[in-house]
Amino acid sequence: MDNPRTVESASTEMIQTKTNDHSLLADIKSLIKVGIINSNLITTFAGFWLALHYTGTLFFDQWVTFLLTMLGTAFVIAGGCILNNWYDRDIDPIMSRTNNRPTVTGTMSLSFIKTLGISVSILGFVTLLLTTWQAALWGAFGWFVYVVLYTMWSKRRYTINTVVGSFSGAVPPLIGWAAVDPGLQLEALILFLIMFIWQTPHFLALAMKKKDEYKAAGIPMLPVVHGFEMTKRQIVVYVACLLPLPIYLASLGTVFLITAYVLSIGWLALGIAGFFMKDDYKWATWMFIFSLNYLTIMFFMMVIVTLPFPF
């Protein structure tokens, strides 16, 4: 018969090992910001797919390039996010959504995290270089804006930090497109503009929800510096700027245009409703959720309406 103490010790060790494994996995996911990577890979894929569509290229002729593009983009974004965490280690303990990162809990050394961020970034650049140098250049541009111009320069100084960061978040569709068609086309620039404009109302809605935390951390987000009324006006202006863009993608067909305008007009109507709602935090939550659905549906529709053509 097994010794009860031995069995108990073994069970405790197994539970502890599972907990440690889970903690390590949670730390890595926190460092690389999985949600950000996933959303950006959706737009990277859309850029890649539409480049195939507009150039008349078959997907199965480019499947290796596709894998390299997605992996390279994921690595570049992950590397930038890791370095963002490393740099923000002094303010992350103040905010509830960031206070469980390993840079705060100390489960990983700061020197290791910095080295990891640089290494993963370089791996991403090299991987993208295996597609086209233009795709790698767009990746480097996005990384530089996010890590240097946003994280290290504008985030703690100016309310336009959201706009600065938007240049970085708008790059993934260009990476995907440039991997297939380095010269780009007007449609690629429209994808960039959609992403660039979309990000400001998306992140300003989040900033309203987290106003007190940003204020405590000393981050000059627009709601912190100029209040909710100014922020709501800015959000509505940016959402309105999205309205003309789908027409430049009219070649994708009527179904796409109807979907795009239903989303855009719906988001604008919800934005205007914010001037009449008493609960600003509730409105900001609705706007934030709608923005996520807007992005997901819009880019998935770009792929769905072109499904028959690349095959």
Query: What is the spatial distance between Cα 169 and Cα 153, in angstroms, rounded to a whole number?
Result: 17
> What pLDDT sits at residue 8?
35
Structure tokens at 158: 């100016």
Q: Residues 26-53: what's their mean pLDDT?
A: 90
Residue 277 in this model has a pLDDT that exceeds 70? yes
Q: Residue 141 — very low, low, confident or very high, per pLDDT cuts 50/70/90?
A: very high
List, in order, residues 6 or more apart from 237 with CB less than 8 Å away.
Answer: none
Q: Is residue 80 part of a domain?
A: yes
* CA 30 – CA 82 distance, rounded (Å): 9
Question: Would 3 be classed as within a structural domain?
Answer: no
- Angle at 146 (CA atoms; ends 141, 151), nearest 5 degrees: 145
Same domain assignment for residues 190 and 234:
yes
Number of domains forming the structure of the chain = 2
At 297 the three-state DSSP class reads helix
Query: Rounded distance, CA 232 to CA 207, Å?
Result: 11
3-class DSSP state of 50: helix
Let me know whether 39 and 122 are in one domain. Answer: yes
pLDDT tens-digit profile of 193-235?
A: 999 999 999 999 999 999 999 998 899 999 999 999 999 999 9
Last-in-domain residue among 138, 165, 183: 183
C-alpha 131/C-alpha 178 separation (Å) is 9
Q: Provide mean pLDDT across the span 40-45.
A: 96
Whether residues 52 and 79 fall in one domain: yes
Residue 2 lies in a domain: no
How many CA atoms within 13 Å lie on the side-chain side of 180?
30
Claim to verify: residue 68 and residue 32 sit in the same structural domain = yes
Question: Do 108 and 128 belong together in one domain?
Answer: yes
Domain-terminating residue out of 135, 161, 183? 183
- Whether 129 is in a domain gets the answer yes
Query: Would you say residue 297 lies in a domain?
Result: yes
| Predicted confidence band of residue 152 (pLDDT cuts 50, 70, 90) | very high
Residues 31 and 173 in one domain: yes
Query: Chain centroid to CA 67: how far?
Result: 19
Asked whether residue 35 falls in the same domain as residue 117, the answer is: yes
pLDDT for the residue 167: 96
Give the whole-angstrom CA distance, residue 36 versus residue 99. Answer: 17
Q: What is the pTM of this model?
A: 0.88
Are 28 and 174 part of one and the same domain? yes
What range defines the domain where residue 86 resides?
A: 24-183
The DSSP code for 146 is I
pLDDT tens digits, one per residue of 289-301: 999 999 999 999 9
Rounded Cα gap, residues 284 and 273, in angstroms: 11
Q: What is the pLDDT of residues 225-263, one digit of tens each?
A: 999 999 999 999 999 999 999 999 999 999 999 999 999
Q: What is the pLDDT of residues 84-130, one digit of tens each?
A: 999 988 888 887 777 778 888 888 888 999 999 999 999 999 999 99
Q: Is the pLDDT of residue 157 over 70?
A: yes
Q: Evaluate if residue 2 carries a pLDDT over 90.
A: no
% of residues, the chain, pLDDT over 90? 77
Give the chain's end-to-end CA distance (angstroms, integer).
64
Measured CA to CA, the distance from residue 104 to residue 217 in angstroms comes to 14
In this predicted structure, which of 41-45, 89-93, 181-185, 277-281 has the lowest mean pLDDT?
89-93
| 64 and 134 assigned to the same domain | yes
Residue 16 reports pLDDT greater than 60: no
- Do residues 205 and 278 share a domain? yes
* 85 and 164 inside one domain: yes
Closest CA to 266 of 245, 293, 248, 284: 293
Decide if 242 contacts 197 (C-beta within 8 A): yes
Q: What CATH number is attached to the domain comprising 143? A: 1.10.357.140
CA-to-CA distance for 257 and 227, rounded, in angstroms? 35
Residues 68, 153 within the same domain: yes
| Distance (Å, whole) CA 124 – CA 135 | 11
How do residues 54-73 score in pLDDT, each as one tens digit?
999 999 999 999 999 999 99
Q: Which of 183, 209, 238 is the last residue of a domain?
A: 183
